[in-house]
Structure 1
Amino acid sequence: MLKVVPVTGAKEKREFLDFPAHLYKDDPQYIRPLDKDVEEVFDPLTNKLFASGKCERFLFRNSNDETVGRVAVFVNPKYENEQPTGGLGFFDSINSQETADFIFDHCRKWLTERGMEAMDGSINFGERDKFWGVLTDGFTEPLYGMNYNAPYYSTLFENYGFKIYYNQLCYSRPVHGEVSRVFRILHSKHSRNPAITARPLKKNTLEKFAADFTEVYNRAWASHGDGKVLEYKKTLEMFKSMKPVINEHISWFVYENEKPIAVWMNIPDMNQWFKYLNGKFGLFEKIKFLWFKRFRKNTKMVGIVFGVVPEWQRTGIDGYMIWEGTQHLRTHTDFETTELQWIGDFNPKMIKIAEALDTVVTRKLATYRFLFDSEKQFKTHPIL
């Protein structure tokens, strides 16, 4: 029988942060997330979901008082589903079905007491751009903010009775790989139009690019699936927070007579530098980070947004932008690989865009769902 230990004091919080590092101490692919990023999820001052939701963390110890698992379990009222559905996240366990079952049972009981009828895992008490999904294929170094786990995790979930609600697909391509001939033809076509220009994002004019990004994003994606409308103020805050790591050669905007019509946003994969910090980000680690950022080549960039306004879709302007940007960054950066943030298998439009960029799936994660009523019909995520 395992002992359940609520994470309340400093000692338990430290153990919650340290347990995965102990679990993966012999795994060369594991990169420890920054402690501050994890703790921000559970801080009511930084995570506004605490105003309406509930979240608790737990450690699980064996008879020798050794930690063998951890989990966070939560209710997020903004997480809308067919039935009331709670979440479990930051799940880590030794390779023991008995241990995993005990943890899942605990989460199920906690959520049932709060009116939930299902649970999804392993997900985040927050946005989907971080700490979301169970890695099922492509066990290589994770991108910044991406979950990483051992291959046996999917077995632990599925043996308990979880089913895949949707797969999360991560696409990648070599920066110096062959670019579609079609893209080059389209680039040549649009280059002859004097009204069309392409330019990279510049740090000294963030306000302008934030406004241009907001306009393209909202026109391209606001009505797309569960897309959200962005406010300029929020975009500018995001750009300013990214300023220290913005690479001015890898994010591109396209204009027609100075009106923004397309955007291709990339950032360096921060884990290529954070992996040397062992989860810490104090003054000493910040100095180390700046040193590594300056002297250690980062060979992987991450595509975070790709969008074209409606009237320019299916005109080939995307091919123009891709080839314009690719030629430039090949000359001015050391990046060797570009990887896209995950795309749900329920989103065929975004999958089509990813495939059009000559990418291939290089890793998969799964969002699992467990229905408390075994008689209820299981449904996968609806197609957008």
Structure 2
Amino acid sequence: MRNIVAVNDKKKLAAFIDFPHDLHKNDPNYVPELFIAQSDMLTPGKHPFHEHSTLQCFLAYDGDKVVGRIAAIQNNNHNKKNNTTEGHFGFFDCINDQETANQLIETATKWLKERNMTSMVGPLNFSTNDICALLVEGFDGPPVAMMPYNPPYYLQLLEDAGFAKMVDLRAYKFLAGEYNDRSLKLAEAIQERLKRNNIIIRKINMKDFWNEVVKVREVYNAAWDHNTGFVPATDKEFHYLAKDLKMIVDPDFVYIAEQEGKMVAISLSVPDLNQALIKVKRGRLFPWGLIRLLWYKRKIKGLRIMALGVMDGYRKMGIEACLYGLTIKTFQEKKFEYAEASWTLEHNTMVNSAIEQINGKLYRKYRILEKSI
């Protein structure tokens, strides 16, 4: 039996954040999260999620050694929008021991049932707007920026604890030099056709960044509204995310489609910061982590195409393929080595087909799981 304790002070919170560093210290693909970012995310008053929802973190101890962690999450905005009583779990990390995993899940289940939740879905940290899902295929390298990572045995631990597949998410990879002229010419031809419908594609205006963010949020919440598990980001949540992204975004990789001044689609790609974060020991910026981060940030040659959304009424016009094509063109011009388009829902044939049209190769799968409680 493990000793399961609630995280209720700064010392336990630090142990909660640090546990994955110790668990995966010998895994060359593991990328540490920044300690300060994780601390803010999990602290009420610092992250806007806590203004409308609640969570409880738990640690599993074997003697005085941490052997597992989990967060039980009640996302009130999600349940209100979807008219459900769905509990979530996230921040799941565990040694390869079924008893430990079971105790963590049972503890989180008890917490959720006390709040009248009837099912348990995850991993979600905190929602599909954040890092989510379990890596189930493609363990051949580090994750890209803001994507999850876990060893293969996690899936078995969760399945043996009663979880089953809810939905799979896909990640596609592009490698430099693997694009034929046809795919890029296709994007150029579509762009010319869109112009005849008064739809133009432009890059983000960083001098008007916060006004752009307001419009992007409207497109984001509308374009993703019917996706499995989606919950609209609040103004404060979107602002929080945009503030972080502004520090790493390359405006050459943020495309906006407009019709007569109305924003109708967005494509957001960011440099793969994980190429630098993997060099930051235990996610600490001080004393040397910040220097390492800034040094290796200059050497990044990877890209994550992290969001592409088109509003209803503007789909099936070729905008998706055009945005992907323009992104890949810029990717080539800047001599990047790889790009990952992630994530997409497995049943989103429109977006998946657009990626495959320009030679994106499916190479990783992630899974959101569920069970009744």
Amino acid at match of 1:291: W
Q: Deviations over 1:50-103 (max 9, x none)?
A: 3443321111112x4322111111222223267522122111111111111121
CA 1:353 to 1:230, structure 2 compared with 1: closer, same or farther past 3 Å?
farther
Amino acid at match of 1:12: K
Q: Distance in 1 between matches of 2:91 and 2:227?
A: 29
Correspondence for 2:331: 329
CA 1:8 to 1:244, structure 2 compared with 1: closer, same or farther past 3 Å?
same
Q: Distance in 2 between matches of 1:258 and 1:330?
A: 29
**What is the TM-score normalised by the length of structure 2?**
0.83
Q: Deviations over 1:257-281 (max 9, x none)?
A: 7765654321112211112122123
CA 1:49 to 1:255, structure 2 compared with 1: closer, same or farther past 3 Å?
closer
CA 1:231 to 1:105, structure 2 compared with 1: closer, same or farther past 3 Å?
closer
Listed as ranges, the matches of 1:111-122 within 5 Å are: 111-122=112-123
Correspondence for 2:11: 11
SS at match of 2:103: helix
Correspondence for 2:21: 21
Listed as ranges, the matches of 1:248-259 within 5 Å are: 248-254=251-257
Q: Distance in 2 between matches of 1:110 and 1:218?
A: 30
CA 1:353 to 1:221, structure 2 compared with 1: closer, same or farther past 3 Å?
farther
Q: Tell me the C-alpha RMSD between the 2 structures.
A: 3.3
The runs of 5 or more residues in structure 1 that have no matched partner are 373-384
Correspondence for 2:133: 133
Correspondence for 1:265: 268
CA 1:284 to 1:166, structure 2 compared with 1: closer, same or farther past 3 Å?
same
CA 1:290 to 1:112, structure 2 compared with 1: closer, same or farther past 3 Å?
same
SS at match of 2:29: coil
Q: Distance in 2 between matches of 1:227 and 1:70?
A: 25
Q: After alignment, is 338-347 or 94-103 more displaced?
A: 338-347
Q: Distance in 2 between matches of 1:46 and 1:212?
A: 25
Amino acid at match of 2:8: T
Q: How many residues align?
A: 367
CA 1:70 to 1:318, structure 2 compared with 1: closer, same or farther past 3 Å?
closer
Q: Distance in 1 between matches of 2:69 and 2:100?
A: 10
**What is the TM-score normalised by the length of structure 1?**
0.81
Correspondence for 1:276: 279
The runs of 5 or more residues in structure 2 that have no matched partner are none
SS at match of 2:46: coil
CA 1:75 to 1:191, structure 2 compared with 1: closer, same or farther past 3 Å?
closer
Q: Is the 8 A contact 1:218 1:229 kept in 2?
A: yes
Correspondence for 1:34: 34
SS at match of 1:351: helix
Q: Distance in 2 between matches of 1:242 and 1:182?
A: 29
Amino acid at match of 1:289: L
Q: Is the 8 A contact 1:3 1:61 kept in 2?
A: yes
Amino acid at match of 2:292: K
Correspondence for 1:299: 301
CA 1:284 to 1:19, structure 2 compared with 1: closer, same or farther past 3 Å?
same
Listed as ranges, the matches of 1:1-384 within 5 Å are: 1-62=1-62, 64-80=63-79, 84-124=85-125, 126-139=126-139, 140-179=141-180, 181=182, 183-185=184-186, 187-188=188-189, 190-191=191-192, 198-206=201-209, 209-210=212-213, 213=216, 239=242, 241-254=244-257, 262-278=265-281, 279-282=283-286, 284-294=288-298, 297-308=299-310, 313-331=315-333, 333-372=334-373
Q: After alignment, is 254-263 or 39-48 more displaced?
A: 254-263
CA 1:204 to 1:371, structure 2 compared with 1: closer, same or farther past 3 Å?
same
Amino acid at match of 1:71: I
CA 1:27 to 1:313, structure 2 compared with 1: closer, same or farther past 3 Å?
same
Q: Distance in 2 between matches of 1:237 and 1:22?
A: 29
Q: Is the 8 A contact 1:33 1:145 kept in 2?
A: no
Q: Is the 8 A contact 1:93 1:99 kept in 2?
A: yes
Q: Distance in 2 between matches of 1:168 and 1:34?
A: 25
Q: Deviations over 1:270-317 (max 9, x none)?
A: 2111121221234753343223223xx212111123244666544445
Q: Distance in 2 between matches of 1:21 and 1:7?
A: 18
The structure with more radius of gyration: 1
Q: Distance in 2 between matches of 1:106 and 1:230?
A: 28
Q: After alignment, is 213-222 or 140-149 more displaced?
A: 213-222
SS at match of 1:108: helix
